[in-house]
Structure 1
């Protein structure tokens, strides 16, 4: 091969690389345009997030084929009976501590960047759960085999250590219906540390949904059409500022999911007052959850990629085992479900499910009228008994 031929091939390879790069940039730009809607106002958060105040009727939800032409619904009167049972602060997120807020008629949305999408496994998979070669580990409490129309609980907030940027640590509550591995419907909320999704190790408030067992529907937060946000006080996917400390002050997020018996929509709330309803998952998104959930779960999860060849040192909860108790271990308190008469009731037959007892586990808390049914959960991952 002579010099001219080598040089020609090199030029062709460079040209092809430039074409591929241009194509990728164009695809990312198109995706960003789909997700990020025009802002009436922009707020710069101290954690580096850009918060766009978007008109409520222009939010991503209404790009969904089943929701086109609709407008955000008002919180139903039927949900006002669930009164607040503890004091909560609206300013539990970093972006709002400066005193900045979005105007009436808008909602705050965390702006997605090119870097966010480049961290994903593909443009099409951005914002969705990754079904890859990892070990999924959990320590949860499950209430099953009944008809559930909502649930609530206060989830203790920590910033757990996450070993690899691909891994995450989550504390959450979720309601499901359908068959796992086939047609599962799920709605989820809580907090998570997930570097690959957000580009940092902050503890963030999140939601997720799927209508087909995580195959092709649903996503985190507002990263795809679906969830309709109605409240301007909260950023879904935003950094949480109130973090618990070991043997120090403890913070929890009181979260609830409630089904509106008229529309079938599932409403998400922070705190226990109806004025703190954040938005809803439309019933149209689901098959089985059009009716009711048949399982409610509370607890922690991590994913273990075994990047060092052994068990991950990613921790769950506070990173301490539940036996250490208050101020040291993570907890979820006031765990309740909503029956078909729309009454809040304690868990009747809670089942503790732990994937690896020596790495992460749960313990039921002592009887306490202020805390209701509650658990401690978590663990430190890799260790003497968790190789």
Structure 2
């Protein structure tokens, strides 16, 4: 479900299918009718089970701090469809969205695409209209058959590979890695995060097949703690960047930071620019991202972790940030996630859970989540926004998690009640 997307489809009389349909045939045909706007773009393509949004956020700041105009396409939304397509941090406006929809209407692509494919076409058109210097493109699902995989990127990034969307991508790491590896393109560099050997071997074979230069975290580039404890040093071959500090909490964010720096060094080399070390430091320090251990009220945090791998990182971050605090969770999830393993992980740091329903066709019922929970204190919350506002006065830390779709809905409720600035 893409919030507020249907209003544009209805206004312009464009039909698309809300279902997920892997494959590039529809995209290829539609983009040809649109004169292939994606071919005009310089792209960094990012896939991975977790870490895509954070890595892109680091990259976005680095590019902006070097004076580049930057387009960004991510999913799902933070508030609604407009923030999924951004240029220089600004969400696409209603006027700009109407402009690209008019172009799509006139091109005759109605009925050819799924919702996400149609949104991807809208993003490509907007970035081409804005003549962006660089586009940061996040895959929606997998990579090989994802609608974004029509581009020929400057560099590809695979942040992580773990179990998620197994009904589509497969139920082994090798099968999932096969889909993620689909974004690796002939002769173009690929930057890889810390992967398990089963997944890494698949990536290596694909890179060799495509003659793609491969850089792997922990082998070809590193991040080490600096002298001051909170500072870090980035190292790659003859490159060393010290005094790196970040506000993005969690040990896993230093890997995302390293992936972004490595990719950005490839970008500036391709664009024949000079990387400014001080600008990279400032960019890393400034980077933040909604829904990634985001403080929304005193002692209230939003985190979009939604599978065992990302929930595991969240638990590590909680232990690191709040070792002596009482923790309680507000949680909603979609049905096709590994709910029981997610709950078992969260129950290692809290025995107090509040389950919520939210508007999404894939959402699990709060009562079903509560039945699966082993927590001693567990309840269903009806008015989630009010509960979260009142949680600012709780003697402990409240963390809202389980789904980015849940966070988007609550954020909209809080904005409507003027409790949270947009």
Task: State the TM-score, normalized to the length of structure 1.
Answer: 0.28
Which structure has the highest helix share of the two?
A: 2
Task: State the TM-score, normalized to the length of structure 2.
Answer: 0.26
Which structure has the highest strand share of the two?
A: 1
Of structures 1 and 2, the one scoring higher in RCO (CA 8 A, sep 6+) is 1
